[in-house]
Amino acid sequence: MTFRERLQAWRYNFVPDHVIGEILSKRWTDNAIPFIALVVTVATFGSLIPGFFKLYSLQESTRQLGEFSLVVIGLTVVMLGGGIDLAVGSIFALSAFAAVSTFFILEQPVWVALAASLGTGLICGAINGYLIGFLRLRAFITTLVTFIIGRALYDILVVAYGSQIQMSMASSDTWDFIGDGTVLGLSVPVLSALILAVIVHIALTRSRPGWHVLAVGGSRRSAHNAGIRVRQTVFLTYVFSGLCAAAAGFLIATRLSGAGPGTGLGLEILALTAAVVGGNSLGGGRGSVVKGLMGAVIVLVMTNGLIRLGYGTGTNQMVLGILLAVAVTIDIRWLKNRHKVLNEVYVAPVYLRMGETQSAVPGSGTPFELNNRLSAADPIGLGELEGPEDVILDREDNLYCGTRHGEIVRFFAPDYSRSEVFAHIGGFPLGLAFDKSGNLLSCVGAMGLYSISPQREVRKLSAETRRTFTSVVDDAVLRDPNDLDIAPDGKVYFTDSTKRYDAYDWALDSIENRATGRLLVYDPKDGSTRTLLDGYRYTNGVCMAHDNKSLFFCESWACRIHRYWLEGPKAGTAECVIRDMPGYPDNVNRASDGSYWMAWLGMRTPSFDLSLRHPGMRKRMARRLPQDDWLFPNINTGGVVKFTEAGEIVATLGDLSGQAHPSVTSMREHKGYLYIGGILNNRVGRYRIEGADTGWTGNDSYWGVRS
């Protein structure tokens, strides 16, 4: 190995590039940018302004923050529902006026003032909600206009009643407490904002109405089709926002004990900037209360900080304008390009030097030498089937296979010309096995381990195992369950080929070549699933040895067969039985003469083997070329190989024509015939094996001869 190659191996096998893609695929990365902005803002202004972090200073500035946060929470909910509410600025002012006038002019108790201001918010919110939700007007322009109307009304009211409010002698301890007091060091506005934030967060993430809001924001039409009352949901978001703004208005009324022409001025653009800077998406569906709160802190610290640092008129508007433009642009670009970025960085190939192999070329004289025997196989279901990855036969000789449409199809003995859909599962049914009582078990790609009773009842057995401690992406989920076999005690041993890709992206896994395949066991007694082995390059076929003391499993991209011991001195360990084969192994099944059949889904090529030694090249390929131009493993030629328990190759079957069975993913011996499946094939092949035991069946071999 050259020094350069060794460097490559270290670079790509020890630097965890794949983690970047996994982190980017997490939703919480959306919070990273606003969070960093938050830390930077607070740190900057905290260090520039003397006494910023003093308790009294914090209590005073957080009062305003509490009121502002209430408004932002309301606006966030509206934005999540796909709308926008600029009217919060005037609702805030109007409800502050309602509270002040009720308290000082009408001299009513505090709770009446609270009710008056909440009522104001409710009415204003309902008007907005009606116009936008039910009349389906444009949210932005409509709330802009209702905002102006509200503001004009407020200006008129303040001019008319302002002096009367100032002359009033009304006072109340409760009123003063709400305005000035603290509970456990927290002022009332902060406390109410916190409580509301927790409630709204739980409501949005864990309650039906909250989900409805997010669904409507995510896609109005889909939400409508799903039976959600879209208009009513939109209506309610505006009502809620109105109430939030009203609560904030009530709080500022108690704090200032008055209402002047400046109350709530510019609040709408502040709140809008806060919600967007926090990372809530325009157009809805994406965002959270936490983001709104982060945005509120950023915007308020920044604007107040600029004032306290003595910058003149206009600076705030300038900074807000920049903030808003930058945040909206980032939001739009990120939403639009996130999946592109993810696609580019997700594939993170590793270095692998494949061992020298023997040739499989016809006439080469090696044990692997391929021939043309499979081209003589009789087709079953030709043209009707799409993707029979695995095939199996029951005790009545009927043939079962999965299809890419998520169905299990049954062909009836003896001539297999009639078929029916035995069961519909969904996903992509791959490996098949019968258990002792005749249930058909299947590893369903992208779904999990399923069982179908003879009465065709589909039941999920397992869809997850235990999550590993260091995983970034949840690896408890079975992304690509591939093949299974069943031990005499009923335990199901099965493989999950990769943690990195979904079942239909198996080809991407071959490019990356990262060892993330697992061998798992499902215990029907307690329904638990455990991971036995981890870290193989695409674990695939599983087969119980004839004596049931061990099992064989394939490692496709490494071209190896391993043996996992269930009993005996080596129990719980795996050893490699066959290495460096010229083909990529798929399923393994028992043969009648005590040996085993193995399917080859494709053949190694010198070019792909070479590319495995150049992970940098594969990375560039995955980034720069369209997928059609990528170098993939060759799956245009495959075959069937027979091997003994000791790992000796005794026979090969191939189809050199490339017509009938170019790529073989499974084969099953039954009464002297071999039934052949291929994941990309349009048929099941039936091949008569010379000199095989014509009475041998898999069911008898596993579960004994039934009398």
Partner 1 sequence: MGGNAWTILRSLNQERIVLVVAVLIFGAAVIALPGFFTSANLISIVRSISVLGILALGMSVVIIGRGIDLSMVAVMAMSIAWYLQLLGDGMTEHSALLLVLGGVLAIGLLNGILVAYAEVPAIFVTLASGSFVFGYVRSQLITSDAVPVPTGHWVELLGGLRLAGIPVEVYLFAVLSGAVFLFLRFTKWGRYVYYAGDNPVAARNIGIPVRPMLVLRYVLSALIAFAAGLLTAASLHSINTRIVNSTLLYDIVLVAVIGGIGLAGGKGGVRNVLVGAALIGIMLNAMTIIDISLLYQNLIKSTILLFAIIIDGLLNPRDEQTAQQGDI
Q: Is 134 near partner 1 (CB under 8 A)?
A: no
Q: Is 77 near partner 1 (CB under 8 A)?
A: no
CB of 157 to partner 1, least distance (A): 10
DSSP, res 688: E
36 CB neighbour count, 10 Å cutoff: 10
How would you class 242 by CB atoms within 10 Å of its CB: exposed for 0-12, middle for 13-18, buried for 19 or more?
buried
Query: Binding partner 1 by CB under 8 A: which of 80, 84, 98, 452?
Result: 84
Specify the residue, 281 or 398, whose C-beta has the smaller distance to partner 1: 281
Q: Is 287 near partner 1 (CB under 8 A)?
A: no
Query: Binding partner 1 by CB under 8 A: which of 94, 274, 282, 558?
Result: 282
Rounded Cα–Cα distance for residues 608 and 349 (Å): 13
Does residue 429 contact residue 410 with C-beta atoms inside 8 Å? Answer: no
Rounded Cα–Cα distance for residues 561 and 647 (Å): 8
Q: Is 40 near partner 1 (CB under 8 A)?
A: no
Query: Binding partner 1 by CB under 8 A: which of 166, 171, 232, 317?
Result: 317
Query: Binding partner 1 by CB under 8 A: which of 21, 66, 74, 83?
Result: 83
Specify the residue, 51 or 266, whose C-beta has the smaller distance to partner 1: 266
**What φ, ψ does residue 434 adopt, rounded to 5°?**
-95, 140
Half-sphere exposure of 460 (CA within 13 A, CB side): 13
Query: Binding partner 1 by CB under 8 A: which of 313, 417, 470, 659?
Result: 313
Which two structure tokens, joined as six digits, stand for 540?
């695939």
Q: Is 281 near partner 1 (CB under 8 A)?
A: yes
Which two structure tokens, joined as six digits, stand for 551?
């099992």
CB of 69 to partner 1, least distance (A): 22
Rounded Cα–Cα distance for residues 254 and 171 (Å): 11
Q: Is 343 near partner 1 (CB under 8 A)?
A: no
Rounded Cα–Cα distance for residues 190 and 184 (Å): 11
**What φ, ψ does residue 86 adopt, rounded to 5°?**
-85, -15
Q: Is 149 near partner 1 (CB under 8 A)?
A: yes
Give the binding range for partner 1 (CB under 8 A) out of 278-286, 427-435, 441-449, 591-599.
Answer: 278-286
Specify the residue, 36 or 318, whose C-beta has the smaller distance to partner 1: 318
Give the binding range for partner 1 (CB under 8 A) out of 325-333, 578-586, 621-629, 680-688.
Answer: 325-333
Q: Is 456 left (phi over 0), alpha (psi -120 to 50) or beta?
A: left
Query: Binding partner 1 by CB under 8 A: which of 304, 315, 358, 605?
Result: 315
Specify the residue, 322 or 421, whose C-beta has the smaller distance to partner 1: 322
Q: Is 269 near partner 1 (CB under 8 A)?
A: yes
- Token look-up 């009398």 returns 707
3-state secondary structure string, 404-419?
CCCEEEEECCCCCCCE
Applying CB under 8 A, the site for partner 1 has a residue count of: 50
3-state secondary structure string, 634-655?
ECCCCEEEEECCCCCEEEEEEC
CA distances from 599 to 453, 655, 677 (A): 27, 12, 9
Specify the residue, 123 or 144, whose C-beta has the smaller distance to partner 1: 144
Query: Binding partner 1 by CB under 8 A: which of 45, 140, 161, 177?
Result: 140
The closest alpha carbon to 66, from 214, 181, 223, belongs to 181
The site string for partner 1 over 190-229 (x = CB under 8 A, - otherwise) reads: ------------------------------xx--------
Rounded Cα–Cα distance for residues 707 and 699 (Å): 13
Query: Binding partner 1 by CB under 8 A: which of 7, 48, 152, 421?
Result: 152
Give the binding range for partner 1 (CB under 8 A) out of 151-159, 184-192, 249-257, 355-363.
Answer: 151-159
Q: Is 511 near partner 1 (CB under 8 A)?
A: no
Specify the residue, 312 or 365, whose C-beta has the smaller distance to partner 1: 312
Q: Which residues pair with 442 in a beta bridge?
A: 432, 450
Q: Is 316 near partner 1 (CB under 8 A)?
A: yes
Does residue 170 contact residue 107 with C-beta atoms inside 8 Å? Answer: yes
Give the binding range for partner 1 (CB under 8 A) out of 32-40, 102-110, 269-277, 561-569.
Answer: 269-277
Does residue 656 contact residue 360 with C-beta atoms inside 8 Å? Answer: no
Three-class DSSP category at 170: coil
Binding residues vs partner 1 (CB under 8 A): 82-84, 131, 135-142, 144-146, 148-149, 152-153, 155-156, 159, 220-221, 269, 272, 276, 281-283, 311-322, 324-325, 328-329, 332-333, 335-336
